[in-house]
Amino acid sequence: MLNNLSNRSLSQWISGDGPEGDIVLSSRIRLARNLEKYPFPNRASKEERKAVIAEVREAISGIEDYRLHYIEMADLPELERELLVEKHLVSPVHATDGPEKGVFIDDNEKISIMVNEEDHIRLQVLTAGLQLKEAWGIASELDDILEDKLDIAFSKRWGFLTACPTNLGTGLRASVMVHLPALNLTNNIGKMLTAVSQLGLAVRGLYGEGSESIGNLYQISNQVTLGHSEKDIMENLVTVTQQVINQERKAREALQQDVKVIDNVKRSYGILKYAYQLSSDEAIRLLSNVKLGIDMGIIDYVEDKVLRELMILIRPAHIQKMHGKELVTIERDIKRAELVQALLKS
């Protein structure tokens, strides 16, 4: 599985197409669960964390419908761990050095189950486009299997018990990753962020909590899990996301004949096609502009799929993995420009 992970460039959720895919790049369902008889990971001893891994591995080994492979995080070089972060298969916290941490990943990299992150179990499912219901169906099935085989910490009053109080209740964090360049260009992004927050949702950057938005990419997710059913949480997120989609589409319509926007799209394409070096942040900003151009019909000679894939492939760990070694910043920037130009030509 380690070799498969290293050699596979893209996860199914980023290379596939999904509903509302011009604006919603992906949907994610994440469930937080803990084993009743052990302290939370940050308070557990080495032996207790090992015992958690052993019990979870035993429970998952009997799941035949999904090909889940276990990886011990300590066995992965730092570059491989960063690769998993860039693919959104593990959190940045889980990728840091630390004993008794693991992850289960399926063949399509659609499912990942982190063991001994903030909670004993962090089960997540990623899908392309706006497909929260589909992601929930898989996550719920896996959760039911684990509950049948493990003693999960649960309170009749509080619901599922979690290390962080904000995850109490359902333990569900549902999120969508959206591309909102037109709302930024029309200076309406601030109003949207405020409105979304007032509806009980959180807006974060590309890599979730603590990260900033890059390339007009945002994650919208529920903030509260206690006192709300899974159905209510997902329906609220879908409703709000549809409103955001509508606002982004209206903003794009308003920009359809804007000379500055058309010029910016084509200049961005020119830089991507001919630059000798590109930093990661510059590349993703330019790709965002070109993706907007594709979605608005300004550019018709690049496939949208190529842009979506490049948003992951240009990240530092991916660049270094392609070349089989660690690279200093200037080397990465040159190789990144070469990669972008090769894929744009294809």
**pLDDT of 77-127, one tens digit each?**
999 999 999 999 999 999 986 789 999 999 999 999 999 999 999 999 999
CATH of the domain at 187: 3.30.590.10
State whether 267 and 245 are in the same domain: no
Residue 5: what pLDDT? 43
Together in a domain, 231 and 290: no
pLDDT at residue 212, as a whole number = 63
Two structure tokens written together for 206: 């590309």
Q: What is the pLDDT averaged over residues 12-27?
A: 87
**CA-to-CA dists, residue 24 to 123, 238, 242, 245, 248, angstroms:** 21, 11, 10, 8, 11
Name the pLDDT band for 2 (thresholds 50, 70, 90). Answer: very low
Q: 201 falls in which pLDDT band (50, 70, 90)? A: very high
Q: For the chain, what is the domain count? A: 2
Cα gap 274→213, rounded to integer Å: 26
Dist CA 243 CA 247 (whole Å):
6
* pLDDT (tens digit per residue) in 285-318: 999 999 999 999 999 888 888 888 899 999 999 9
pLDDT tens column, 248-274? 999 999 999 999 999 999 999 999 999
% of the chain at pLDDT higher than 90: 78
pLDDT number for residue 52: 98
* Residue-wise pLDDT tens digits, 167-186: 999 999 999 999 999 999 99
Residues 232 and 103 in one domain: yes
Judged against a pLDDT cut of 80, whether residue 15 lies above it is answered with no
CA distances from 264 to 125, 174, 298, 320 (A): 36, 34, 11, 30
- Judgement on whether residues 116 and 160 belong to the same structural domain of the protein: yes
Q: Considering just the CA atoms, what is the radius of gyration of the chain in Å?
A: 21
Quick count: other Cβ atoms within 10 Å of Cβ 188? 17
Q: How far apart are CA 75 and CA 3, in angstroms?
A: 12
pLDDT of residue 1: 44
Give the pLDDT band (50/70/90) at residue 207: low
Q: Is the pLDDT of residue 6 over 80?
A: no
pLDDT of residue 301: 86
In this structure, are 89 and 147 located in the same domain? Answer: yes
* Domain boundary pick from 252, 283, 306: 252
Averaged over 220-227, what is the pLDDT? 89
pLDDT digits (tens, 9 = 90+) for 45-82: 999 999 999 999 999 987 888 889 999 999 999 999 99
- pLDDT value for 317: 94
Residues 6+ apart with CB under 8 A from 48: 38, 39
Transcribe 71-112 into DSSP letters: EEGGGS-HHHHHHHHHTTSS-HHHHSS-SS-EEEEETTS-EE
Same-domain check for residues 106 and 165: yes
pLDDT of residue 329: 96
Q: Are residues 217 and 304 in the same domain?
A: no
162 plus 281 within the same structural domain: no
pLDDT at 187: 93
Residue 3 pLDDT exceeds 60:
no
pTM (global) more than 0.85: yes
Residues 60 and 188 in one domain: yes
252, 284, 305: which is the final residue of a domain? Answer: 252
Name the domain boundary from 191, 221, 252. Answer: 252
Q: What is the pLDDT of residues 191-200, one digit of tens each?
A: 988 999 888 8
The pLDDT value given to residue 303: 86
Confirm if 151 and 209 have CB atoms less than 8 A apart: no
Q: Which two tokens stand for residue 46?
A: 């080495």
Residues 44 and 149 in one domain: yes
Q: Residue 7: is its pLDDT beyond 50?
A: no
The domain of 332 spans: 259-345
Q: Share the mean pLDDT of the chain.
A: 91
Q: In 107-193, where do the E strands start and end?
A: 111-115, 121-128, 154-155, 159-160, 172-179
The pLDDT value recorded for residue 76 is 92
